Amino acid sequence: MVDYIGIGEIRRLVRSIGTGEFIARLAAEIEDDYRRWGEFEKSARLASHSPVGVIELMPITDGRLYSFKYVNGHPKNTAAGLLTVTAFGVLAEVETGYPLLLSELTVTTALRTAAMSPLAARWMAREDSRVMALIGNGAQSEFQAIGFHRMIGIRELRLFDVDPRATAKLERNLRGMPELRGLEVVRTGSAAEACRGADIVTTVTADKRNAVILTPPMVRPGMHLNAVGGDCPGKTELHPGILRMPQARVVVEYEPQSRLEGEIQQMAPDFRVTEFADVVRGMAPGRAAHDEVTIFDSVGFALEDYSALRFLHQLLREERSGRRQIDIVPELRDPKDLFGETVGTGAVPQRLHRSA
C-alpha cells in the first residue's frame, strides 16, 4: 500500500500545525536540501506548451529518493471556474523503485512557493524590511502574505490587482486571522502606488504574456524584488531595464531552467546570475550592499517539490493513526504471478484504506 494525501489530508495537516508554522517548517526543509545541491541529479522541467497554457513534469533525485510533479498552468481557466494551476506528485524509493507517497500538490505548491519566497528574502532582502507590495492578488497571494509575515516580519502589506474582486477576496481572507495579528493591509490603486515605500515587492500575476508589471521608476535602491509570476517561455513581469540596473543582483533557482522560463529569458545568454544554492552554501552573497536591488527570479524548481513531498511523508510517518493508503501497487504473495493474483482466479481484493 502507498501513502496518500488528498485535499482533505493536506487541509488537516496544515490546520493541525498552523499555516504560518507549516510554511516556516517547510522552508527549513527546502533550505537544508539546497545546502546539499551537489547530491541531486537535476534537469529543467519537461514542458508541453499550447496557446492557452503549459503542462509540465518536474523530476529530481538525490540517489536515495526520487520525486516528480505533474503541474499545469492555464491562466484563462478562471473564466470557466477552473483553477489556473493544478498539480500532484510522487515520492519514491530509488532502491526498489516503489512509490512511497502519492500526494496532491495544488495546495502544497502554493505552500512551498510561499516558503521559498521568504526563504530567499531572508538571504537577499535588507534585515529591516517591514513593508511589502503584493501585486497580483489571486490564488497564491494569501500564502505569500502569511509566509512573509511569519518568516520576515512584514508589518504592512500594500495590495494591487487589475481585478478589484481579487483584492477584495484577499482582504476578506486575511481579515481576522490570528496568525496575522499586527499586519496592516492597505489597498492601492496601481502597481506604482503599491511600490511606494515598499522594502520588498512580490509580483505573482498569471497572464501568459510578456507583461510589464514593474518598471525601473518603481524600483528604489535597497529594494528586494520577488518575481514569482513569470514561469514559462513568453511569460515575464519585470521590465528588462530593472535587470540591467548597475546595482541589481539577480538570483535564480536552477540557471538552465530560468534561462528558458524566468525573467532572464529577456536577457543575453551571458547575462550574469547567481544560483540560490550558491548563496545558501556561502559561495556567493545574497546581498552585498544596503542599496543593492536584489531580484529573486523565481520559477519554481523540482528540488522544492522534492522537499515538500519528503516533508509531507515525514509528517504522515509521525502519525500514530489515520494514515490513508491506496493500492496503486499490487501486493502479491508471489511477485512472479502478477496475472494470477490480480486479474486471474487467485486475485485478492485490495482497496483504499485508512490505518487504525
Say which of 62, 161, 231, 297 is annotated catalytic.
231
Please report the pLDDT score of residue 165 as a whole number.
96
Within this chain, do residues 126 and 265 fall inside the same structural domain, yes or no? yes
- CATH code for the domain of 16: 3.30.1780.10
pLDDT tier for residue 354 given thresholds of 50, 70 and 90? low
Within this chain, do residues 190 and 62 fall inside the same structural domain, yes or no? no
Please report the pLDDT score of residue 356 as a whole number.
42
Q: 109: closest CA among 262, 304, 275? A: 304
Residue 258: give the domain boundaries.
Answer: 121-300
CB 231 within 8 A of CB 73: yes
Please report the pLDDT score of residue 193 as a whole number.
98
Q: 297: closest CA among 266, 331, 329, 339? A: 266
CB 303 within 8 A of CB 62: no
Q: Averaged over 82-99, what is the pLDDT? A: 97
Within this chain, do residues 213 and 283 fall inside the same structural domain, yes or no? yes
Within this chain, do residues 188 and 74 fall inside the same structural domain, yes or no? no
Within this chain, do residues 294 and 332 fall inside the same structural domain, yes or no? no
- In order of 36, 92, 326, the CA distances from 96 in angstroms are 23, 8, 18
Mind listing the pLDDT tens digit for each residue in 254-263?
Answer: 999 999 999 9
**Using the 8-state DSSP alphabet, how is residue 263 labeled?**
G
Whether 322 is in a domain gets the answer yes
Please report the pLDDT score of residue 230 as a whole number.
76
Q: What are the grid coordinates assigned to 77, written together?
A: 481557466
Please report the pLDDT score of residue 244 as a whole number.
96
Fill in the amino acid letter for 266.
Q
Within this chain, do residues 259 and 183 fall inside the same structural domain, yes or no? yes
pLDDT score of 346 more than 90: no
Please report the pLDDT score of residue 351 as a whole number.
54
Phi then psi for residue 95, to 5 deg, are: -60, -40
Query: Is position 337 annotated as part of the catalytic site?
Result: no
**Using the 8-state DSSP alphabet, how is residue 235 labeled?**
B
Within this chain, do residues 262 and 342 fall inside the same structural domain, yes or no? no
pLDDT score of 76 more than 80: yes
Pairwise CA distance, residues 128 & 181, whole Å: 19
In percent, the amount of the chain with pLDDT more than 70 equals 95
Mind listing the pLDDT tens digit for each residue in 105-141?
Answer: 999 999 999 999 999 999 999 999 999 999 999 999 9
Please report the pLDDT score of residue 208 as a whole number.
62
Within this chain, do residues 203 and 267 fall inside the same structural domain, yes or no? yes
Mind listing the pLDDT tens digit for each residue in 160-213?
Answer: 999 999 999 999 999 989 899 999 999 999 999 999 999 999 999 967 667 899
Q: What is the mean pLDDT of the chain?
A: 94
Whether 115 is in a domain gets the answer no
pLDDT tier for residue 349 given thresholds of 50, 70 and 90? low
Within this chain, do residues 67 and 142 fall inside the same structural domain, yes or no? no
Within this chain, do residues 240 and 331 fall inside the same structural domain, yes or no? no
pLDDT score of 232 more than 80: no
Within this chain, do residues 195 and 288 fall inside the same structural domain, yes or no? yes
Within this chain, do residues 205 and 92 fall inside the same structural domain, yes or no? no
* Number of domains the chain contains: 2
